[in-house]
Amino acid sequence: MSETFLESFWISLGLIFFAYSLFKLVFYFYWSRWRKSYPGLPRESKVPPFYIVLVRILLLASVFCLSYFAYQRTESIKSKEEEVSRGVDFLFLVDVSLSMQSVDTRPSRITRAKETILRLLPQLNGNRFGMIVFAASPFVYCPMTSDARAFSEYVRGLDVDIVGDRGTDLKSAFKKAEEVLNSNQVLRNRILVLISDGEDLDSPGIVKFPAEVWVWSVGTPTGGPIGYSEDGTRVYGFLTKDGSLAPYENSPGVIISKSNPGFLKDLAYANEGRFLSLDSESPEIGDIKSWIDSMEKNTGQRIRNLRRAEGAKKFLIPALLLLLFDFFMLEFWGKYLLGLSKKVVPVLLFFFSLWGSDVYSFELDPGGNRIKEGKNSYEQGDYKSSLERYKEADPYFPEDPRLEFNRGDSEYKSGNLDKAIRHFEKSADSKDSALRAQSHFNLGNSYLKLGDRKKAAEHYLRSLKEDPNLESAKKNLEWLRKLPPPEGKAGSENKKSASEEKEEKSSAFKQGSKGKEKAEKQSKSGAGKDQKDKNKSKMEDELDRIMESMDLDSVKRRSPGSRNKEVFW
């Protein structure tokens, strides 16, 4: 990797760490504010103590700095190392004439040869490799090398176009191989691997090589057409006698190339070597290694230039120790101690309670206890004490609709109707439909006590929209429907119904605190419906329209344009 890339990497890593640390600190700054505003928040969300987070940030900052120093202050020391190798030399003599492109061996003859060589190379490390290619003329394609990876790249580049001369001249190829084997390029212990289809119109004679010989025959005696394609184009076809390309294998004039395995087999036996047909078998790496082990080895030496990086150890070891401390002490061990403390602390508190005569205890749920005390005071009729307990619970459950409903009940019973209305309006914004229905019902009762029939009827209707089965709201609406029209403020005050609910009960806080109030029927319910006052407001007219279609069994309205269709709330 380049120096520029590494510098950019460290800068990016530093910016990410800075952003992470800043986020942590800002979060804890706001967390301290949220805890003051919402006292019940720590019970709902568990956050590690600030000092632990601060220690972890400092540890990670130290690890980052030590790692950067290890990168910057590493010293490079150059050295040389002598490497001794023992093995044999493999000289490949490969046919790359056009006949090697024949498809009688799938996918083609030359492709089969390349795949076989590449499969064997990783198992033959420690030996040297070289290659001569030939068609009408031979040349050294890859000099002898001990680098198997580099040699494999030469193998992948084999193609029938690397030799410009067309045709096959085995005689000149054999001569070139003898020339290379007798030179100082190839060491004494060597194996010549001939890969060819044996097709040569000049019929060369048998040659004896100064090396171990291994002949790989590729192709079939029946032969096959010669496939040809141009690099970089989609042109593909089969070579014909006039030099053109035919689209199909059985097209007229297509050249059929036949291999000559008999000649290749005679050549191998004449040199007391081995013969292998790639069409029917593959070389076994175990046999090859046994063959190499039976031969004398060439001893080679080479000098390798090494570059050692020193000086990073004194920075990386402390960085590693800090990371281990962070993981085991702050992460793993901290969680273990937290779980252990939950079991040990109650036992220790029990033994400490037996130590002396004075016993002290801590209230675990002050907010919930105040709610319970307020409910008990309400049921005993001590509404003032109930309001005080609910007020003490308010910091633990700020703006909780259920607590607002309970406070409204107590204010209603105390006669503070304006305050009760404010509390019921807040509880009416709850997400619980049952609590909303009870809140609107109590608002209707409160406005009815104040003499405002319009708002009372409006809230009774809204409570029925939230809960259509609320019978007390239905009865109060029916009672309102049968009331005579108001004759003024004084008259309305004198005709207040005695049918309001006997008692509004505040339920337990955990179950939603439903305030229930049942209205009794007015003793004068038998009075008939009087004629409507012509000066009624629009709300009263709408109320009358709804009341005319309402009975005690269900609250419903008739759809305009239909006498029979009923639409229920």
Q: Give me the tens of pLDDT residue by residue for the chain, a chain 569 residues long.
A: 567 777 888 888 889 989 988 998 898 888 888 877 776 677 667 777 888 888 888 888 888 888 888 877 766 666 666 777 788 999 999 999 988 989 998 889 999 999 999 999 999 988 999 999 999 899 999 999 988 999 999 999 999 888 877 788 899 999 999 999 998 888 888 999 999 999 876 778 888 999 999 999 999 999 999 888 776 666 678 888 888 888 888 888 898 999 999 999 999 999 999 999 998 888 999 999 999 999 988 877 666 666 666 667 778 888 888 888 877 776 666 566 555 555 555 555 555 444 444 444 445 567 778 888 888 888 888 888 888 888 888 888 888 889 889 988 988 988 889 988 998 998 898 888 889 999 999 998 999 888 888 888 889 899 888 888 888 888 888 888 777 766 554 343 333 433 344 334 333 333 333 333 333 333 333 333 344 344 445 445 555 555 554 443 333 333 343 333 333 23
pLDDT at site 242 = 84
The Cβ of residue 557 has, within 10 Å, a number of other Cβ atoms equal to: 14
| Per-position DSSP letters for 188-204, written without gaps between them | SSEEEEEEE----TT--
DSSP three-state, residue 18: helix
CA-derived radius of gyration, the chain: 50
Asked if 89-223+258-304 and 366-482 have one fold, the answer is no
**DSSP strand pairing (236-239 vs 227-229):** antiparallel
pLDDT at site 302 = 65
Domain ranges of the chain: 3-79+312-354, 89-223+258-304, 366-482
The model's pTM: 0.45
**Which phi and psi (to 5°) does residue 537 adopt?**
-75, 170
Q: Which residues contact 65 (CB under 8 A, 6 or more apart)?
A: none
Euclidean distance between CA atoms 376 and 74, whole angstroms: 75
Euclidean distance between CA atoms 65 and 528, whole angstroms: 92
Euclidean distance between CA atoms 145 and 362, whole angstroms: 84
**DSSP strand pairing (224-225 vs 256-257):** antiparallel
Euclidean distance between CA atoms 541 and 128, whole angstroms: 109
CATH fold group of domain 89-223+258-304: Rossmann fold (3.40.50)
Would you state the CATH architecture of domain 366-482? Alpha Horseshoe (1.25)
DSSP E strand boundaries for 26-101: 75-87, 89-95
Euclidean distance between CA atoms 404 and 513, whole angstroms: 10
Euclidean distance between CA atoms 189 and 88, whole angstroms: 5
Write out the two tokens for 211. 């090396």
Q: Which residues contact 379 (CB under 8 A, 6 or more apart)?
A: 505
* Dihedral, 205, 207, 213, 219 alpha carbons, nearest 10: -20
**DSSP strand pairing (212-217 vs 190-196):** parallel
Type of residue found at 441: F
**Which phi and psi (to 5°) does residue 369 adopt?**
-65, -40
